[in-house]
Structure 1
Amino acid sequence: MVKGIVRDAMIEIIDFIRKAIDVIDDDQVNSMINVLFDT
């Protein structure tokens, strides 16, 4: 449950960073999420 909340927060943060910087592509974001959460 906590892991899910943290994951949702991380997804929002990463999405915000991606919009702010606009250089990180979706594949990199998905790879980071997968590495961080072993999904």
Structure 2
Amino acid sequence: TYFNCIMFMVASSVVLTVLVLNYHHRTADNHEMQQW
């Protein structure tokens, strides 16, 4: 259904965002922390 499709898209987006953030933070440990 439409609701299930939206829920799947939201869940996949959250998982992808978490994976990308973890990847960047993990690689950033080898370099200087950027100024936010």
Superposed pair shares fold, TM > 0.5: yes
Asked which structure has the greater RCO (Cα within 8 Å, sep 6+), the reply is: 1
Q: Which amino acid aligns with 1:6?
A: F
Identity of aligned residues (%): 5
Question: Would you tell me which structure has more helix in proportion to its own residues?
Answer: 1
- Higher CA-based Rg: 2
2:19 to 17, 20, 34: 17
Map Cα deviations across residues 4-30 of structure 1 (whole Å, 9 max, x no partner).
Answer: 0000000000000000002xxxxxxxx
Which consecutive unaligned segments of at least 5 residues does structure 1 have? Answer: 23-39
Q: How many residues align?
A: 22
Which consecutive unaligned segments of at least 5 residues does structure 2 have? Answer: 25-36
Q: TM-score, normalised by structure 1?
A: 0.53
Q: TM-score, normalised by structure 2?
A: 0.57
